[in-house]
Amino acid sequence: MIDFDSSLVAQTAQIGLFILTLSMALVLYRIVRGPKNADRIIALDLLSILVVALVALYGIFSENAVFLDVVFAYALVAFLGTASFARYLERSAKKHRKDSLPPKKGGTHD
């Protein structure tokens, strides 16, 4: 096993935590501003990836392996949530297109 200098690992983890927190703030801005629902869903998925990275990095920083279980569970829930949002968006777009089609002319039946 490689023995890392604990101060180097701690400094690197702190820099990583700062960068991830800054990235989360920028993603939250995109969630609020949009402009479309698809942009918001993608930003929400990115936010969940950043949360997974943040928790994993914090687990490394605190030297606690329990956080890895949390990372796996949250990653699975985040993926299912993103897939559900995307399916909802697809269904609502299909319904909107179907409702906006003009009625067919002519009543001929074969």
Q: What is the pTM of this model?
A: 0.74
Those residues whose C-beta lies under 8 Å from the C-beta of residue 56, and which sit 6 or more positions away, are 67, 68, 71
For residue range 1-42, list pLDDT tens digits in order: 445 567 888 788 889 989 999 999 999 999 999 888 888 888
R_g (Cα) of the chain, nearest Å: 22
Q: What is the pLDDT of residue 9?
A: 80
The structure tokens 């969630």 sit at 31
Q: What is the pLDDT of residue 1?
A: 43
Q: Is the pLDDT of residue 103 over 70?
A: no
Q: Where are the domains of the chain?
A: 6-100
Provide the pLDDT confidence category of residue 48 given band limits of 50, 70 and 90.
Answer: very high
Q: Which fold has domain 6-100?
A: Helix Hairpins (1.10.287)
